[in-house]
Structure 1
């Protein structure tokens, strides 16, 4: 015959339900912490929401301090394990993985396969980001080079408006700019259109 639940166990069930509605992610740990209080105070917390919220705030502060200490320790272990799998990018990957909660990090440290998978995904994300950064840098460099070449061509015939005309034509795509630089007639046509716009905006100049 199973024994009847104790008062503490019954209060624990009610307390867990109340805490889960406010702090679902940490409900189990917070319930355990608050169950250390005497039964009378637990009953009061269940009766008065403000008191429960106040006790939860204090408990959360304690929990966050513990989390911070645990994260530091886990971070050292995670870096060491990540370095074995990916020595070049281990610092950045460790930083990414430390965005996870402590429990998830602990699970990674317990499973080599899970850690390998997480490191691979983080590395893939980093390489993708680096590729995008490189593409943006290349685009900027190419546009600047084309701008310089375009300015030199325009300046020969339209020195007064060379800067303005170059800026307007640089709004075009890179492929079209390259085409302009290789096609004198098309260049003259585009410049004339841009020049007409300038003269309409600033007649007599």
Structure 2
């Protein structure tokens, strides 16, 4: 129930953003974008460039020729294929954030399920994590230990997490976003990923970082004012 309400709120907010630009088909475009995972929708709302790109893709999908029934059938097949490709890309990106070392293999395993099940995985992080752990366990039992070449290195993974964290921290404390993000990046990647999906946890970490920075600045001021006390 909570997820449905969240999706409804996201839909209303998206519609308000889309309506001024595409009044006549705002409802249809909103429905198309709501097929994307909730985390992506949240980013789209905050990033004008991402919203524009998403709308362009949706518009290009709508601008299909309407000729004979055979052409229509062909378009439907292409659309189904494109939809499957899109699901695969979205699922790959989400699985890759866990940095398991088996992104391609696990994505392939999950895509063997029904399309509806895969769509459910994209909107349910908890369910995705359960399925991912099962797939990972299966791979370990089979003795598959090689890391996918496509998986990010630790440095790349941290950089990606850092970029996402910075955007979120910037909304809370723009003036000190760089310092706070740098402090948070000292944590392990598992904790960082949890913070990206848990706003309350992120807020708590930001407040701790702000307090640490405040005490640091106070100490620096004391040292500057009374150098002999150091």
Structure 2 length-normalised TM: 0.29
Larger radius of gyration: 1
Q: Counting helix residues as a fraction of each chain, which structure ranks higher?
A: 1
Structure 1 length-normalised TM: 0.32
Q: Which has the higher contact order (CA 8 A, sep 6+)?
A: 2
